[in-house]
Structure 1
């Protein structure tokens, strides 16, 4: 006990492969892809800290080294982080199973590391602390519930059933990927068998609790939430965060440059003969020359833009774009070079990784 409250931990899942974000995730953890120049995972860790939770176990997989390098011991977030390796992605409930020793007999918050809840989760956690049901799930209404885990509620808001991506959903309430559990969940997890996907499903564990007449409650959010598993989702999250940025100019802009609207320019940025129209953010050490950077764009640290037009896009660390107009709705990874072809014929030269998508104007 601390301050009259039960000890609570958090279990953050950061071991997924991010297949829907390839080729970015061939070389980068999906939880570390930036939104407004901050990794998605960091928003979750900050939300957990803001709930008063300090002890966090992070499930890591094949991108463990990168996640460890980014998060460290957690002290930069006011957290104490323990890493829990998962040899292969065998499901959300499998994460609970392998974290059993770490979680001990404490209540815990389970948080998917690629989730984005713009208003945070404090009210959700406070609700659990006040009532302490056996389990509590975070829900939101969605247009197409067949793509999510779906919950069915009774009139009192108690969960009467859950199903993973049902073909005939019984409600439009999707599981957001944030859960609260008491130690009772460990008994449910031990009884599970792999689903048709070959995974131990957390929805199956919740269903076991319901079947055993445990108290499974729900908390419905009406604010913005997104599973950042696809490029379109990342760009939308980027737009949502940039809507609320504060204008700051810590770098330098010459007299021939124009800055319009909410523009956040980090230290050591040099802007020359360019037009910036916010909301947008530019990371430390970037150089922008003879370019237009339009709304809802994040330019990462150390990037170089020259003779370029770009908007509604994310450009990650140290990438270079020279002499390319009309870039829009794009996600550009780290250390990328984008430039026009050196020859006159109307043609496209493409060097593209596995599972990529390329859209070209005819």
Structure 2
């Protein structure tokens, strides 16, 4: 089995954090989003993952090497493809056409999930969904009385279903999917100005393909700061047992740690209260601060911070007051200076 991961989007809703790091590589509870995604898929796939193909933008050789390493750590070949312009979900998959062979899972690197099931590889395809309150912002599916999908509808303005497609799909024949994607692109069939995967899925369904549902227990968004901080907290809650032990390189003095928290290597904490639901990346230093429900990346300094629902990037510095903030990499915010 192969995993195809389109992840070329700019992540503009998560700025300033995506100005220097692609969104799928932002760590959540100490591990990049895309790494968590492919590991979770591997758990439910039920068979060996042979290749993971990443469809990226112009992210540079360092990012490409880190993605290949993620694949290799799962015993898979890592392949890199580039999507030069955002022409839609179907176009993104088209970029990895050379890897679209056999049975595949296509997973867009925007969200994380929790699910307790084994993937049914005997069906033509599985579309993973979650019931949502407002389906107008999503592609949705309609079902027949047997639980098979009867319609794919992209961002319905009138209610047709509340089963939202979360962006993870299984296909037992990548070749059949590529045939439909090539058809809609060769004929200029667009929706909302883009080539949509749901158009190809509807064509396959009309030709007799049977798609079943893969329901997830939790669907976690990483689209903006608030959602990402919330997802960080959820992951910490799910993995609180493995987060209970902090690395021996961490130095914690005169401080209270309220679990669950992720504490990275060489973190220094003094005279502070940390948690619950806080991640501190490698090499970060926290002094005289209270922090809860926040995501702090690597090599950052926080002094006299009283932070909640905050996200701070890498190599940043925050000196100051009670605040909910979103501070990007290499930024400095100083409320203590007398100048």
TM-score range, shorter chain: 0.7 to 0.9
Structure number with greater Rg is 1
Counterpart in 2 of 1:82?
79
Residue 244 of structure 1: CA displacement?
3.3
Q: Secondary structure at the match of 1:266?
A: coil
Q: Which runs of 4+ in 1 moved over 4 A?
A: 350-353
Distance 1:267 1:198, change over 3 A: farther
Change (3 A) 1:264 1:237: farther
Alignment of 1:130-145 (within 5 A): 131-133=122-124, 135-145=125-135
Structure 1 CA distance for aligned equivalents of residues 128 and 41 of structure 2: 14
SS in 2 for 1:188: helix
Q: Deviations over 1:215-262 (max 9, x none)?
A: 2332233x11123212222122211121133557xxxxxxxxxxxxx7
C-alpha separation in 2, matches of 1:205 and 1:287: 51
Task: Classify the secondary structure of the residue corresponding to 2:18.
Answer: helix
Question: Pairwise CA RMSD of aligned residues?
Answer: 2.3
CA contact (8 A) 1:150 1:169 kept: no
Residues 102 and 351 of structure 1: CA distance in aligned 2, closer, same or farther (over 3 Å) = closer
Taking the aligned partners of 1:267 and 1:239, their CA distance within structure 2 comes to: 23
Q: Does 1:189 align with 2:186?
A: no
Does residue 310 (structure 1) correspond to residue 291 (structure 2)? The answer is yes
Alignment match, 1:204: 199
Tell me the equivalent position of 1:4.
none
Q: Contact 2:115 / 2:215 at 8 angstroms: preserved in 1?
A: no
Contact 1:264 1:280 in 2 (8 A): no
Cα distance in 2, alignment partners of residues 231 and 351 from structure 1: 7
Alignment of 1:7-22 (within 5 A): 8-22=1-15
1:335 aligned to 296, 302, 315, which one? 315
Structure 1 residues 352, 312: closer, same or farther in 2, change over 3 A? closer
Matches within 5 A, 1:108-187: 108-119=104-115, 123=118, 125=119, 127=120, 129=121, 131-133=122-124, 135-181=125-171, 182=173, 183-187=175-179
CA contact (8 A) 1:317 1:335 kept: yes
Matches within 5 A, 1:1-362: 8-50=1-43, 51=45, 52-73=48-69, 74-104=71-101, 106-119=102-115, 123=118, 125=119, 127=120, 129=121, 131-133=122-124, 135-181=125-171, 182=173, 183-192=175-184, 193=188, 195-221=190-216, 223-246=217-240, 263-324=244-305, 326-340=306-320
TM-score of the superposition, structure 1-length normalised?
A: 0.82
Deviations 1:107-145 (A, max 9, x none): 21101122201236x52x3x1x1x231x32111111111
Instruction: Deviation per CA, 1:256-292: give whole Å up to 9, x if none.
Output: xxxxxx7442231101111111111110011111111
SS in 2 for 1:24: coil
1:317: how far off? 0.8
